[in-house]
Amino acid sequence: MTNNPPTPAGNFSHVGNFTGYMQVVYDELTRRLPSPGRILDVPAGNGLLGVRLRERGHEVVQADINAERPDYVHADMEQPLPFADASFDTVMCLEGIEHVIAQAQLLAELARVARPGGLIVISTPNVSNLYSRLSFLFAGRFYQFDPRWFHIATPGAMIDKGHIAPLSLYHLGYLMAARGARLEHTTGDRYKKKALAPLAILLWPFVAWNERRVERALPAGMKSARALADGVYFNMQTYMSRSLVALFRKDGA
């Protein structure tokens, strides 16, 4: 249960294509943003999603520790972001939260720079999918979180630490709710290991029953008023997709 290890960060992102999770986020924002707005993309990675969003008229500020493009704002996700409060209509953090030690601090920063009523979009490797659950059961680690790929940074060094910090949707929802942003919608990219479909179908009644029971007992503040009554924390996407995409709505106008 392995995949190719990430490379340490240098001047360029190790992701070179327009990925499935980028397409999912692009489609979600196209549906949800009726008019152009100001969007923060951190970490910006290869910048391709920002290019697509600019083509739709959005003002996109891209930030990262790398120098993939000359207009990137330098931003270390382990430090306060260099932006004013409530300065973006939409904030994106795609495949970034799992790379940082201070996850709660980063999430607080994402909420701080989003305007009241704005969207915060987070994607991360999905530790709740069936394949990742099996990986943890048999190998003691979630899929895409192999400790052999960790990189320890010396003080002040700017490197990609690797996938060091798995985060479940429940914990992500709690940390965001604590900063005044409620989960509104979840989706994901392609299903991981479609060969597991027969097992997934077999286990679905029990897993879905258990997850629904947990979801109904969650604090009310962990869901947006716009979210479905049940199923926003667990559905077929959270059960099967490789990357989880979660959309939060910041409290306010």
Q: Can you tell me the distance from the alpha carbon of 245 to that of 63, in angstroms, rounded to the nearest whole number?
A: 20
CATH code matching the domain that covers 20-250, chosen among 3.40.190.10, 3.40.50.150, 3.40.190.290, 3.40.50.720: 3.40.50.150
**pTM for the full model?**
0.92
- Least confident residue range of 12-21, 69-78, 82-91: 12-21
- In this predicted structure, what is the pLDDT of residue 14? 65
Task: Evaluate if residue 11 carries a pLDDT over 70.
Answer: no
Query: Cβ(227)–Cβ(10) under 8 Å?
Result: no
Predicted confidence at residue 68, as pLDDT, reads 82
Which of these ranges, 35-39, 112-116, 171-175, 224-228, has the smallest mean pLDDT? 224-228
Q: What is the pLDDT of residue 13?
A: 57
Three-state DSSP class for residue 65: coil
| Mean pLDDT to the nearest integer, 110-119 | 98
C-alpha 124/C-alpha 101 separation (Å) is 14
* Confidence check: pLDDT of 48 > 50: yes
- Above 80 in pLDDT, residue 253? no
Per-residue three-class SS string for 162-202: CCCCCCCHHHHHHHHHCCCEEEEEEEECCECCHHHHHHHHH
Q: pLDDT of 126-160, one tens digit each?
A: 999 999 999 999 999 999 999 999 999 787 788 88
Provide the strand spans (E) within 49-205: 59-64, 73-74, 88-94, 114-125, 181-188
DSSP β-ladder status, 243-250 and 114-125: antiparallel
Predicted confidence at residue 5, as pLDDT, reads 43
Mean pLDDT, residues 49-67 taken together: 95
Q: What is the mean pLDDT of residues 184-200?
A: 94
- 3, pLDDT greater than 50: no
Query: Can you give the pLDDT at residue 156?
Result: 74
Please count the residues of the chain.
Answer: 253
Residues 219-242, mean pLDDT to the nearest whole number = 91
pLDDT band of 6, cuts 50, 70, 90: very low
Distance CA 48, CA 226 (A): 30
